[in-house]
Structures are given as structure tokens and as C-alpha cells.
Chain A
């Protein structure tokens, strides 16, 4: 009896392991391409699908595996990705924020192949602004293809509220603080903030610092060339503490999109958020010019604070040739114009088909072609992830305690440890 049971058990175990073995073999099938991302919902997932369709039309024989990992604003996906990369089982290509998130995590540690040749072979090198090429390069080589551009330094405001109280839309933080006083007297929060995740506070701070330091100073600060006790940095941090005197009371419970919504609903005067807010407004049926409008964040006119999603080529990618085909599509005008109008972002190339983009995006494309471009901190373009998590932690305290001196000490300690040497 026991012997029989044993045999049955053994057979079961062997059978299961064979099934699994078969499974792994199947995944490595000849002509395929695995694209790894955390784009699982809404415009981003649909945008990716549109770009995949362009690829499939061009290369019908290649089977595309769209591997997505949902949740945690990409944190879950990043954990899976780290495991696969360290285990020597990289996906063919993966979504990653262009800039230091890619470079400091994956390029410096020698997990990626340079792909300058992809751009050169296709003749695309001069189709991207040189500031963007700088952001995606390490030691003179390009390591990822940016598929989209979002702008961080955008002020969304409520035209009706400014009209009602006869106030000028602020172009500096000093002007904002004057207007904010009027709003406060009337019981309206001047700034809508939704920092239930602390990156939203970092997002606000980076744009305040951008205004107090200017484009060059801002770049230097995040490269460790300017100390945090610099008077311009201190000014920026002090301004931040003043601005926080005019935020909505429930900011710590609010998500960033809800805060953007406050502006369109006339519950708050302005909001500083990336330009995915425009897509949100359009999708909610809010009307530009009436419910909402935009301007560069105070004090940052002429500067375009960018972030970007990109794809790269891991070393030992199982289907290297197919990845190169995919990256060429990503860099092409056709691919970018398929993805971006749906995602609600602008192409990283400067020659996008204007007719495909809405009113806000067309304006953003104008600025992108004209302005000085700097990388965003809160979204992984300007600094590495280890540094960014420290910055976010400091912001969680600073936003509550508003202690400038303590923040300077802590920011400097983080910079000493994580800034590029």
C-alpha cells in the first residue's frame, strides 16, 4: 500500500517537473521578442500596443511577448527585473526612465550594451535634441532610446479663480506668494498638492530649486558640483517652506492626480505637476482655457524639465537582433507618433507629426524644441535611484517639519554619498 502511494507520488513529482521544464523551453522559442514594462493601464498600455502594432506590421514573423508587471508605480516590476538581470535571465528589452535611473543602476554595473549604432545606422542621431542625447548617454555612448517626453515644470491653474479675484497668473514664486495671500483670506488653498506618495513633494521641490538656481545651477546641484548650503539652494528651500503655508489641508492623503483635479474643479488655484495632468483633464472632459490652463512653473520659463521612458539593450538578451529592430521602431517617427498621442506625451524626436497631437502637446512640442532642457529629479532622469529614495525620505520629513537647516544637512549627506564623483 505504502509502496504504491510512494510510486504514485514519485510519478507526480517527475511529471510536474517535466511540465515546468517544457514551459521554460517554450519561452525561449526561436523568433520572439520579450518587452518588459509596468505599463498595464490606460493610455500607457494602449500606447505601447499601438507601437507594438507598428512593429508587427513591419516584422510579421516575430512573436511579441508583452511582459508587464503591475503595481507599486513600477516598484514591483523593478524588483522582478532586478532578479532576472542578476540571475542572468534578462528580458530582451525593458522600460526604464531615461537618464540616471538607467545609467547608475544598469549601465555602470555593466548590464547594458551601448546602442549608439542603432541611432547612427538609421540616421536618427540629429533627430533628437542634443540635451536629450546627453541625458541618455554615458561616456559618449547612447544606452537607451527615449520613446516619449514628459515635462515636469508645468503650473496648472484655474483661470476662473484668478479672474474672480482679479489676480495675475504668477510667473515667479514671489508673485505666487502675494496672490496666495489673497486666496488664503478667501479660504482657498493657493497650491494643490497631493503627496500621499512623497515623490510629489520632490516634484514640487525640484521645480522650486530650478527657479532659484536656474538651469545650469540646477544641473550642477544634482551632479554634486554645488553644495546644499549655497545661498541659492537655501533660498529655494526657504521658498518651499513658505509655499507650503498655502497648500490644501488634506495634501498628505491625496494622490497627485486628485490634486490636479482640485484645480480644474476650482477648489485650488494652482498645482505643479507633470504634463500627464493634461491628459487627465482631457479625459475628464475639463476644458482648457475655462476649467484649466497652464504656464511654465513659476521662475522656470525658457527651461524644459524633462523625463522620459526609454528602452535599452541588455547584455545577453536572448533575441538581440529583434531588440535592435524594436529599438529602431522606438526611435522612428512612425513609432513615436503611434505611441505618444495615446500616452499623452510628446515624441523625443523634434519632427513629430503635429496634426496627431492635441493643443497642449503642440505647445509642449514648441517649448521642447526651443527651451533649455534639464533632467527631472523626481522621475529618475537627473539622479540615481539610491539617491532618489533618500531624497524622497528627506522630503517626507521636510514637508512636515519645514526645517531648512536640517534639510540642508541631510540633503548634503545624501549628495556626498550618492552624487557622481
Chain B
């Protein structure tokens, strides 16, 4: 893109205040958190004496934090899987066969307009073991005693209670992936599909060999967006379940909030947020790298 020297100068001048604010309030405070995470600031009074990696070592020894990390990983994997697979399925239905696309699109997209707090309160009542769908089952004569988000069962390190949270989160974001995929599908030239049909490819073959490769970039960016939402999840769990019995529905964000602002363990809170930052960076940095490389080409 061409722009004159003068334009560029003005652009930079206008950007400076925003860059300054960005560096101070984002990168400055990330740096500050990093410093606090190496300190012994364990009360209301700042104490910057460095203790090296001690806070991190103690953090990973804490049962609560280990549970949190496990919860985060399982939650992220299932959340992304359901949203991507389910979202593609819904968009394909709308794309190919279903009548009344407008209505269904709106229905699926609608939950996205809610905040996680609203979703959380809503699903808390639905899954509440005595008054929610358990009560419905009991009315129908079944013996329903599944604890949902209060269940303390665990299968291969996966806290069964997370199912309720995964359903709630997926319910909200399914429409988002659907919309993205639908846009992608609409962008595929009809000729391509027709050519494939003439060549004798069945529907399944077309999906696999034509559609999926074309919408791969969309899948990728949807996964990135969902991934960073679920790695940082706080509001949904805070509104819906809290940390749960034996931390079955706890996440690093909740732990960080409680330990820092209720317990004044500032060093521990900073260490948790740095770990969270690294987790998100693990997802975002490769994405940025590929995007930037793509732009350069």
C-alpha cells in the first residue's frame, strides 16, 4: 500500500498517545505482574523482595491449581471440539438443504448476544440438582440423581461436573462458529461443487475434499478465538458454579481473583496470571506468526 511521507508522519503522531497508553496499561502491567510473581508480596503491603521461582513452585504444588489446569485443558478441548464440529454441522444444514434459513440462523446466533453472566445464571438453574432438569426427569418417573455441576466424580482426571459448563459455553458459542462457517460456505464458488459432482463425487467426498480444505483458515481462526475465550474463562464459572466442591468447576481465573483480592496473596495471584498469559500465548503466538508471514508474502 502506498502512502505519502506526510500521511505517515501524521499517522504516527496520532497513534503515539494510544501506543503510549497501550504500552503503559497492557505491557507495562504485564511486566509489573511478572515482577510481582517473583516477589514475596503476601499481604496488603507491597514487598518486592525477590524469591525467584518459589511462587511458581508452590503454585504447582497446590492441589487447587493442578485441578484448575486440568479443568482448563479439558474444558478447552471439549468446548472447541463441540463448537467447531457442531457449528460446521449446523452451517452445512443451513447451506445445503434446510428451509427457513433466516429463522434458524437467528435462533442459533441469538445466545451469542447474551453475556456469559446471563448464560451462567440461566444454566445454573437448569442444572441445579434439585430444581433443574433432574426435577423434570423425576416428574416423568425416572430416578434422577446426577449431581451435574456438583458431581465430584472423575473420569481419567476429567471432572464430570465440567459437562454442565461445557454445555452452557457451547450453547452460547455454537452460533458464532456456525455464522463463520456459513460465510465461508457461501464464499465457495458453485462451479467448484458442480465440477466435483460431474466428476462423480458424493456429498461426503465433496465435504471432505472440497469444502473442508477451502474453509480451513476459518476453522483455524475460530479455534483461536474460542481457545483464548476458554483459557481465560472466568465470568461463566463465577456466575454459574463458583469453584465447586473440591474445585471440580474451578479455573485459574477464579483462583486468581479469590487469592489476590480476598486473601491478599498478591504474589500467588500474579504467578497465576502469568501462567494464564503463557497458556494463551501458546495459542495466539503461532497464529499471529502465521498471519504475519501470510501478510508479508
5 contacting pairs across A/B (C-beta < 8 A) = A75-B257, A78-B262, A86-B44, A253-B124, A386-B42
Q: Using CB atoms, name the residue of chain A closest to B263.
A: A389
Q: Does A2 contact B (CB under 8 A)?
A: yes
Would A109 and B43 be within 8 Å (CB), given that A196-B242, A250-B130, A399-B245 are in contact?
A: yes
The CB with the most chain B CB atoms within 10 A, among A195, A253, A385, is that of A253
Shortest Cβ distance from residue A71 to the other chain B in the assembled complex, whole angstroms: 10
Give the interface size bracket for A toward B. 35 or more
Contact between chains at A75 and B258 (CB < 8 Å): yes
Number of residues from B at the complex interface, CB < 8 A: 36
Closest to B248 in A: A400
Closest Cβ of chain B to A370, distance in Å, is 34
Q: Evaluate contact between B145 and A105: CB separation under 8 angstroms.
A: no
7 smallest beta-carbon distances between A and B, as pairs:
A389-B263, A400-B246, A252-B150, A79-B261, A252-B245, A109-B45, A400-B245
Name A's interface SS.
helix
B contacts, CB < 8 Å to A: 10, 14, 17, 42-46, 63-64, 124, 128-130, 145, 147-150, 152, 241-247, 257-265
From 367 to 421 in chain A, residues with beta carbon under 8 angstroms from any chain B beta carbon are 385-386, 388-390, 393, 396-397, 399-401
Residues from chain B with a CB closer than 8 A to the CB of A399 are 245-246
Q: Is the CB of A253 within 8 A of B45?
A: no
Determine whether the beta carbon of B262 is less than 8 Å from that of A385: yes
Question: Smallest CB-CB separation from B259: which chain A residue?
Answer: A389
Complex CA distance for A76 and B262, rounded to whole angstroms: 9
Apart from the given pairs A82-B44, A249-B130, 9 other A-B contacts in the complex at a CB distance below 8 Å: A79-B260, A105-B264, A106-B44, A198-B243, A249-B145, A250-B130, A252-B150, A385-B263, A396-B246
Q: Which residues of chain B have C-beta atoms less than 8 A from A111's C-beta? A: 44
The answer to whether A109 touches B246, judged by C-beta atoms less than 8 angstroms apart, is: no
Residue from B43, B46, B149, B152 having most chain A Cβ neighbours under 10 A: B43
Q: Which A residues are CB-close (under 8 A) to B241?
A: 196
Distance in Å from the Cβ of A107 to the closest Cβ of chain B? 11
Residues of B within 8 A of A253 (CB): 124, 128-130, 147-150
Total contacts A-B at CB 8 Å: 88
| Cα distance, A400 to B159, chains bound together (Å) | 13
Cβ–Cβ contact A86 & B64, under 8 A: no
Which positions in A face B, CB cutoff 8 Å? 2, 6, 9, 13, 75-76, 78-79, 82, 85-86, 104-106, 109, 111, 195-198, 249-253, 385-386, 388-390, 393, 396-397, 399-401
Which of chain B's residues have a CB closer than 8 A to the CB of A75?
257-258, 261-262
> In the complex, how many angstroms separate the beta carbon of B70 from the nearest chain A beta carbon?
15
Docked CA distance A11–B149 (Å): 54
Residues of the B chain whose Cβ atoms lie less than 8 Å from the Cβ of A385: 262-264
User: A117 CA to B269 CA in the complex, in Å?
Assistant: 38
Q: Is B128's CB under 8 angstroms from A250's CB?
A: yes
A252–B64 Cα distance when bound, in Å, is: 17
Chain A hits for B128, CB < 8 A: 250, 253
CB distance from B234 to the nearest CB of A (A): 12
User: Are B129 and A249 in contact, CB atoms less than 8 angstroms apart?
Assistant: yes
User: When A105-B44, A109-B43 are in contact, do A78 and B263 touch as well, CB less than 8 Å?
Assistant: no
